[in-house]
Structure 1
């Protein structure tokens, strides 16, 4: 009799997650209703191919940031922090490319590419603003100027984890 009770309890324990998951989905109980990203997900930005840039898709995620035309100490500090965040991705870093958008020719850090605006910079672009762009060139997340690096790092890690190679 004890063995049967143990078997029934074991079956109940192993089978319980499915009915619980169905109930959660059916009655919408315990399901988060907010976004978990730190940046802005619901934006109206065009794909990167429609920006006034000379850019071609290359099947890599992009960390794009807008630098001012004259790169002073703030600009160098921002470039350095994005370089460090990129290195902090570890072995996933090869899946991400860093792009610096600027209006003038500037020196870039290792692993970073510079893109010059072909025309004048669009009015919705601010200095030091950051975007995460998928391999097809669609802007996934937009961040304000001087965003916390750990917020972008967390979102980028989540995107890379959920989108394997």
Structure 2
């Protein structure tokens, strides 16, 4: 007569192996969910495996600075094309103001998602002020805090164009030689990827 094994003793023998498999599965699930976040954080912080090519044309402002850091106090809840000039709004500044309005119009059906604005450190000439009131009725105007602006503009006295997101974060910066088509393409891409504003 052969010996019959107790069923409870065989299940006891298999339990540690099953428990080990469950732990391994849990570890793999955690690694697959948390691992990419850890990798992305490391890539951003230590700048490794970052592709050299880029799809935007302006200078990316990716350090969390906002409109207030630029020296502009505003409460705009849409994407904004902001022209800044620490001095008077000379020819390069006026060209960027025109460009900002054209870019907003160029957005077509998405035009309502963006606004255009001007921030200057000095008072505008009376003839240009009259022109703005007449030809740019939707242009928002702000004073520019020059002490704040000097740190952000890296001492550049030229007019600059900024794309600012609906939370007030600085996204891209362009100088006075900016190509309107490139800026429009950048803004369209941002609007396409964004679900805010």
Residue matched to 1:84: 102
Check conservation: 1:43, 1:142, Cα contact below 8 A. no
Taking a change above 3 Å as real, the CA distance of residues 111 and 134 of structure 1, as seen in their structure-2 partners, is same
Superimposed CA distance per residue, residues 109-147 of structure 1 (whole angstroms, 9 cap, x where no aligned partner): 222111112344414423221111111111111223321
Q: Which has the larger radius of gyration?
A: 2
Q: Work out the CA distance in 2 between the residues paired with 1:49 and 1:160.
A: 22
Superimposed CA distance per residue, residues 34-89 of structure 1 (whole angstroms, 9 cap, x where no aligned partner): 22111122554721133322222x32011111135323444333322221221111
Listed as ranges, the gaps of 5+ residues in structure 1 are 1-31
The one of 150, 153, 165 equivalent to 2:184 is 153
Q: Work out the CA distance in 2 between the residues paired with 1:71 and 1:65.
A: 10
The one of 132, 135, 146 equivalent to 2:166 is 135
Residue matched to 1:48: 67
Query: Which structure shows the bigger proportion of residues in helix conformation?
Result: 2
The one of 111, 118, 123 equivalent to 2:145 is 118
Asked whether 1:94 is paired with 2:115, we answer no
Residue matched to 1:60: 78
Taking a change above 3 Å as real, the CA distance of residues 42 and 77 of structure 1, as seen in their structure-2 partners, is closer
TM-score of the two chains, using structure 1 as the length reference: 0.68
Taking a change above 3 Å as real, the CA distance of residues 49 and 87 of structure 1, as seen in their structure-2 partners, is same
Taking a change above 3 Å as real, the CA distance of residues 118 and 72 of structure 1, as seen in their structure-2 partners, is closer
Check conservation: 2:92, 2:176, Cα contact below 8 A. no
RMSD, aligned CA? 2.4
How many Å apart are 1:102 and its aligned residue? 0.3
Q: Work out the CA distance in 1 between the residues paired with 2:159 and 2:146.
A: 19
Superimposed CA distance per residue, residues 4-34 of structure 1 (whole angstroms, 9 cap, x where no aligned partner): xxxxxxxxxxxxxxxxxxxxxxxxxxxx932
Taking a change above 3 Å as real, the CA distance of residues 131 and 155 of structure 1, as seen in their structure-2 partners, is same
Aligned pair count reads 133
